[in-house]
Each structure stands twice: as structure tokens, then as C-alpha cells.
Structure 1
């Protein structure tokens, strides 16, 4: 994942007002949410829905597409 530098107050405002969407594949204990971001170098935010005030992963467009491709190809599957 590429490092994304954002002004922390701008980023905090974006995340607070973001439209978070839960994956339709999420289960009760395995939930993630994504939010498209409107401005700045980060295009997508990802978080654990059980901990909405916890850490957030930020992806630029290329990083997000790479993550999705890897997930579809089983790159992150637990063995």
C-alpha cells in the first residue's frame, strides 16, 4: 500500500462525514466497511465495522484496485 499524506484535520472531517457501506458478503463477526473519499490522494477508506472509531486503511485508486484484485484471487485467504 502506498503511503498517503493527508492533512489530518481534513482527513478526519472526510472520515466523519463519509458514507460507509458494509460489504454484502460480511458475516456477523467478519465485517468490513468501505467509504469513497471525495478529495485528497486517498480514494477509498476501509475499516472494521465492529470498531468504527478504530484504525482506518487508506488506499489511493491504484492501491484499492490492487487490493480488490488480490482479494478476488485469494491472495489474502487464511490458510
Structure 2
């Protein structure tokens, strides 16, 4: 199933080099071609999140509205410890 994401363009935060390059990466993919998209397949483009240290590991899939809510929460500090 990983083959369907082989053409994905993964982006990493520019600040990731400050922590040794360990970071999450995000790609925008077409939902029908995204393995693991499950019930979100067919909902348009999906944002896929993965761990840069384990690119073949589990991935999280977000619809556009879910991604916008997540990014908004990060910007507002909702996930700060």
C-alpha cells in the first residue's frame, strides 16, 4: 500500500533542523490514492502526517477542515503542555 504514497511530496518544518532534523512531515495527496485513508477516501485531498524518523510507520490522515482546525489549535497554543 505504501506505493500509492511514493509520489507524495513530503514537507518538513524549516525549524526542524534546530532539533536534529527529527520532526513530523506533511504531504497533500488525493484521497482515493491514499492507503490508510479508510472512511476518508473520496473526500477530496487529504493532509497526511508522518514521523520523519519513521517514514514507513503509521500515518495520520486529515480532511481539509480537520487540518485547518488542527493548525488553528497549534497557532492558539491549545496543545502546549
Q: TM-score band, normalised by the shorter chain?
A: 0.7 to 0.9
Higher helix proportion: 2
Match of 1:76 in 2: 79
Q: Deviations over 1:17-75 (max 9, x none)?
A: 21111111222264010001134425210011001011100000000000000011111
TM-score, normalization by structure 2: 0.71
Match of 1:66 in 2: 69
Whether 1:14 and 2:4 are equivalent positions in the alignment is yes
TM-score, normalization by structure 1: 0.73
RMSD: 1.8
Unaligned runs of 5+ in 1: 1-8
Where do 1:25-64 residues align within 5 Å? Answer: 25-26=15-16, 27-28=19-20, 30-40=22-32, 41=43, 42-64=45-67
How many residue pairs are counted as aligned between the two chains? 68
